[in-house]
Amino acid sequence: MYLHGPYSPVLAKDYYNISSEEWKIKSETAIMSDDDLGFIVRLKDKDPLWLETAATLYWMGEGENNWEKAADSTYSVKKLTLSRNDKDKRYVMKVLEDMKSMNIVR
């Protein structure tokens, strides 16, 4: 998963242009479970590097359910991006812990 890679710029622009008021309105009128809505609200405040790291972690670990191995693999492929943002493997592990606390992974 890439912050500056293959993705839809139009979709990303739409996402980042949603105001806090629009999030509130969408939250009040959304047809989804409270769990889904809570999950979306928690992710809304995450920065792009966190989202990119979490997406890569999930992609690396999906199916295997070995999240420590996924963290190692994520760090290996994201090392340059992380270092450009003054982050290291501890950041990947923190994202993994965040994902566990949100029940994204177990």
- Asked whether residue 36 falls in the same domain as residue 59, the answer is no
CA distance between the termini of the chain = 20
Q: Are residues 21 and 65 in the same domain?
A: no
Percent of the chain with pLDDT over 70: 69
Phi and psi dihedrals of 63, rounded to 5?
90, -40
Q: Is there a single domain that holds both residue 55 and residue 32?
A: no
Calculate mean pLDDT across residues 22-36.
65
How sure is the predictor about 11, in pLDDT bands with cuts at 50, 70 and 90?
low
**Percentage of the residues of the chain whose pLDDT score is greater than 90:** 43
CA-closest candidate to residue 45, choices 84, 102, 100, 4: 102
pTM above 0.75, yes or no: no
Tens of pLDDT, residues 71-96: 999 999 999 999 999 999 999 999 99
Same domain, 82 and 62: yes
CA 64-53-45 angle, to 5 degrees, is 125
Domains identified in the chain, total number = 2
Q: Residue 58 sits in which domain range? A: 48-101
Domain annotation covers residue 81: yes
In a domain, 106, yes or no: no
